[in-house]
Amino acid sequence: MNKKTRWYRFLEMLPGLIAWFFILFPLWGAFVIPKLVAYFALAFATYWLWQSFKTATLAIIGYFKIKAAKNTNWLEKFNQDFRARWLPYRDIHHVIIISSYKEPNDVIEMAVGSLAAQVDIDLKKLHVILAQEARAGKENNQKTIDYFSTKYKGTFGHLIFTEHPSNLPGETAGKHTNEAWAAKYFKKKYIDSGRYQLKNLTLTSCDVDTLFHPKYFSCLTYNFARNHQRYYRFWQAPIIWHRNINQVPALIRIVGIIGNVGHIAGVQELDGLFFNYSCYSSSYYLIDSAGYWDPDVISEDWHIFLQTFFANQGRVAVEPIFLPAVVDAPSGETTWIALRNRYKQCVRQAWGCTDIPYALEQARLHREIPFITRYLRVFKIMESYFIWASNWFLLTLGSSLPVLLNPHFFATTLGFNLPRIVRLILTICLIPLICLIIVDWQLRPADLKGGWRTVLKNLIQWPFLPVATFFLSVLPGLESQTRLMLGGRLEYWTTPKKA
């Protein structure tokens, strides 16, 4: 696929053009077509009401599914439920790639230690690849190798260290190229040599601060073995910012809580059109079928789904594993540094808007996939990024600008009632918001809920919700789409992490 054509450049501009059109629509529309602006504002507020109650309902359902998954002995369940068409337990192995760039050993220890703490599974079935970057320096990388090869000697099936070379032609630096290098290395040395069968392996991508639930890989074994579509599946656990949630500034904690529960709801989307993100597992066969992660795409998680989806006739889907993976919320030495780190992290995540032109072009090319199947995926991506960059403006300004800027429209019945109706709808949205807050609180470990000060600061922060969502979610999302629209590019940036 040629990304240097004028057509592809237009597709890159599309997300930003759509976002800015609707953001500015209440401004110019207030003078030209105020009634249409009003009906659009009412429609969007109603959509937001539906999404809010849907998210709260799915989050509550997800809470009970998480409780059930935590209480399940997955090895025992495997033996009880085993059928002839399943993969045998003895044949299944898991490859885990932990991508690292200059992170200290105590941070990397978080992911490796959580793998060593897995239960109801033979740890020899886990093959851990600590994927490092040559640009981090020989001395830095050797210290990591010495520490982990000594501490975890004999713990896993294999503990492998790879070093991704710098400045390879056609590559951009980042997690995507690092883990692609590591996955190809494992395939060449351990699969192509006949030591392991490609179709018996899962492949998990994670960050250095990922804390897997102790039962994650026993549950993954169960799901991989039983699913007859196993070679066309990703598995996704909800990602939760719980480890340091009480130590970060309130604005970060707010977006973290909304994100935590949103992830739990997201993996249960009623349309089934959710994507893998951040830390996820798949069959090794699936990633291999797509040629591994594209070397020039920084936001690799949704993109690897799209790669595999279009490479396999649209048969690929994501299934949930209700055992949350805990990661760190962005932090820093000062409040300002922490907020800056969160903003930059969100800009990088929102750079996934580059998947929109990719998906549109691939959908046009892959006509062997049913029209509805491919364009529903495209719609889901476009909807997600549109809402990300514009929701705050549409909810706050969509109903107020037409009546403030156009006195004649304000004098009409629709103009007079518009702000009041939207305000009522958003007030009703407080009900599902309270549900989300309670679900997140219930999922926190007991040591994160103790003390009146903790309770108090988790209560008094919520009036700052509009500020938090604007500066730490909507604005960075809009920046990424605008930068892409204007032809800018983004370099990979690693969020600083602390143990």
Instruction: Check whether 260 has a pLDDT greater than 90.
Output: yes
Mean pLDDT of 217-224: 98
Q: Which residues pair with 105 in a beta bridge?
A: none
Instruction: Check whether 494 has a pLDDT greater than 80.
Output: no
Structure tokens at 260: 């935590």
Give the DSSP letter string of 93-127. Answer: EEEEEEE-SS--HHHHHHHHHHHHT--SS-GGGEE
pTM value is 0.94
CA 183 to chain centre: 21
Mean pLDDT of 285-293: 97
Model confidence pLDDT, tens digit, residues 385-422: 999 999 999 999 999 999 999 999 999 999 999 999 99
Strand duo 325-326 + 280-283: pairing: unpaired
Q: Residue type for 59, please?
A: A
Give 443-451's long-range contacts (Cβ < 8 A, gap of 24+).
Answer: 443/63, 443/66, 443/240, 443/242, 443/260, 443/324, 444/242, 444/245, 445/242, 448/242, 448/245, 448/246
Model confidence pLDDT, tens digit, residues 329-357: 999 999 999 999 999 999 999 999 999 99
Positive or negative, the CA dihedral 277, 283, 284, 288 is negative
Q: Residue type for 485, please?
A: M
> pLDDT category, 493, cuts 50, 70, 90?
low
DSSP 153: T
CA-based nearest residue to 70, from 252, 269, 268, 212: 212
Question: Can you give the pLDDT at residue 499?
Answer: 64
> pLDDT category, 298, cuts 50, 70, 90?
confident
CA-based nearest residue to 195, from 315, 95, 110, 309: 95
> Are 345 and 259 a contacting pair, CB within 8 Å?
no
Strand duo 201-207 + 93-99: pairing: parallel
The 317-320 sheet, strands edge to edge: 158-164, 126-133, 93-99, 201-207, 280-283, 233-236, 317-320
DSSP 366: -
> pLDDT category, 457, cuts 50, 70, 90?
very high
3-state secondary structure of 86: coil
> pLDDT category, 1, cuts 50, 70, 90?
confident
Helix axis angle, 335-350 to 371-397, nearest 10°: 140
Other residues' Cβ atoms within 10 Å of the Cβ of residue 412: 15
C-alpha 490/C-alpha 109 separation (Å) is 29
Other residues' Cβ atoms within 10 Å of the Cβ of residue 305: 27
Structure tokens at 395: 């909810």
Query: ∠ at Cα 460 (458, 462), nearest 5°?
Result: 85
- The percentage of the chain sitting over the pLDDT mark of 90, rounded to a whole number, equals 93
Question: Can you give the pLDDT at residue 227?
Answer: 97
Other residues' Cβ atoms within 10 Å of the Cβ of residue 82: 15
Q: What does pLDDT average to over the chain?
A: 95
3-state secondary structure of 412: coil
Q: Output helix, strand, coil percentages for the chain, rounded to the nearest 5.
A: 60, 10, 30
In Å, how far are 36, 299, 411 from 404, measured between CA atoms? 16, 40, 11
Computed on alpha carbons and rounded to an integer, the radius of gyration of the chain in Å comes to 23
C-alpha 101/C-alpha 174 separation (Å) is 9
> Are 454 and 246 a contacting pair, CB within 8 Å?
yes
C-alpha 212/C-alpha 221 separation (Å) is 14
Question: Can you give the pLDDT at residue 3?
Answer: 86
Q: Which residues pair with 98 in a beta bridge?
A: 130, 206
CA-based nearest residue to 216, from 233, 234, 235: 235
DSSP 92: -
In Å, how far are 89, 93, 130, 155, 217 from 158, measured between CA atoms? 18, 11, 11, 8, 16
Residues near 167 by Cβ (< 8 Å), separated by ≥ 6? Answer: none
> Are 236 and 319 a contacting pair, CB within 8 Å?
yes
> Are 251 and 468 a contacting pair, CB within 8 Å?
yes
Residues near 435 by Cβ (< 8 Å), separated by ≥ 6? Answer: 56, 59, 60
> pLDDT category, 4, cuts 50, 70, 90?
confident
Model confidence pLDDT, tens digit, residues 132-174: 999 999 999 999 999 999 999 999 999 999 999 998 998 988 9
